[in-house]
Amino acid sequence: MAKYMVEAPHTKERCLEALDEVLATGPEFLAEFHWGCPVGVHNGWAIAEGESESAVRDMLPASQREKWGITEVTK
C-alpha cells in the first residue's frame, strides 16, 4: 500500500467542527492527525495508507473530500 499525506485546512471558526468531522470517521483516524491549531496554523496533517489516492479520499469526511489535500509521499 502507498502512503499519502492528508492536509486538512480549516478556519479558526471551523476548528472544532474539523476535529468532529475527523472523529466521526473513527477515533483511530483522528489519532493519526497532528494539528497546528494551538499555534495559530489551522491545519491538520496525517499519513494514511491506501491502495490509491481515491481510496484514501474515501476515508475522509464526505463534506471535505474535495477540499482537503492528498499527496502520495515516500521516504
User: In terms of residue numbers, what domain contains 19?
Assistant: 2-73
> What confidence score (pLDDT) does residue 44 get?
96
> What confidence score (pLDDT) does residue 14 get?
94
pLDDT in tens, 13-68: 999 999 999 999 999 999 999 999 999 999 999 999 999 999 999 999 999 999 99
Mapping DSSP onto H, E and C, the string for the chain reads CEEEEEEEECCHHHHHHHHHHHHHHCHHHHCCCEECHHHCCCEEEEEEEECCHHHHHCCCCHHHCCCCEEEEECC
Task: Please give the model's pTM, rounded to 2 decimal places.
Answer: 0.90
Domain count of the chain?
1
> What confidence score (pLDDT) does residue 43 get?
97
